[in-house]
Amino acid sequence: MTQSRITKRFAKCAAEGRPALMTYVVAGDPDYDASLAILKALPAAGADIIEFGMPFSDPMADGPAIQAAALRALHGGQTMIRTLEMVRAFREGDAETPIVLMGYYNPIYSYGCEAFLIAAKAAGVDGLIIVDLPPEADDELCIPAMAHGIHFVRLATPTTDDKRLPVVLKNTSGFVYYVSITGITGMASPDAARVAGAVQRIKRHTDLPVAVGFGVKTAEQAREIGRDSDGVVVGSSIVAAIAGSLDAAGKPTAETVPAVTRLVAELAGGVRSARDEVAA
């Protein structure tokens, strides 16, 4: 998978001397049509890689904003089949932007692992981040996914020590996702200096790009985190922008897509200036 969309995009960003902006939204939030419009608008707004959340009713890593987004999607009838339909629809107009599905194992297990991987590959999915599948369960989905040409991205956290890290990295591909805080998404801000040290430590164990997420909300934070990482992941603030654009009945408005694209453009400006001080 050396020439995958993910590896090509990280190489492109590195050639431009900047980290990648990775944006997270939940599939089907706030409804199918608005979610697809947001998905299609993300690359032009500045997203380099899209993490597409698979809504699940019992998450373990998601904070209140993303939990609420998942419930909006599920109440709107979002299913795994519809999520893959959205990826297929996106691919009709964009053959280059990587899409990484992020979520939990239960919906995939219910779908059927082999059937899911075949459908995901056909739809245009490039990678998976399955939060609740540890390396000890790689035979379940990780290794089959790689056999289908789909990257399996593993999370490393502040509590992943040097003894555990090689186990985490063993079958990881595409990139490493460093969780910058202990806790759930969107509830604390990362310490840029500590993140820099953690990224350097991970890079001593792997040649894969290291992207940093959890707690990054603003363009300034994206700039700070991007100084020392290969990618910056932003989710909760984008999801909050969607929630803030809805009407009293929770339906999308004419402001929903622009609210997202304005924020993503600001974040893109942050990551694109991340290395300016180093280069000066």
Give ∠ CA 231-137-110 in degrees, rounded to 5: 90
> Looking at 31, 48, 62, 126, which residue is catalytic?
62
62 is catalytic: yes
**Contact by Cβ (8 Å): 106, 133:** no
Closest CA to 216 of 154, 172, 176, 263: 263
Q: Is 265 exposed, middle or buried (0-12, 13-18, 19+ CB in 10 A)?
A: middle
Q: Compute φ and ψ for 101, nearest 5 degrees.
A: -80, 130
Helix (H, G, I), strand (E, B) or coil at 175: coil
Q: Which of 29, 48, 51, 138 is catalytic?
A: 51
Collect all residues with Cβ–Cβ distance below 8 Å to 91 and sequence separation of at least 6.
123, 124
In angstroms, what CA-CA distances link 232 with 57, 265, 279? 26, 14, 19
End-to-end CA distance of the chain: 35
DSSP for 95-149 reads SSS-EEEEE-HHHHHHH-HHHHHHHHHHHT--EEEETT--GGGTTTTHHHHHHTT
Q: What's the per-residue H, E or C state across 230-243?
A: CEEEECHHHHHHHH
Catalytic residues: 51, 62
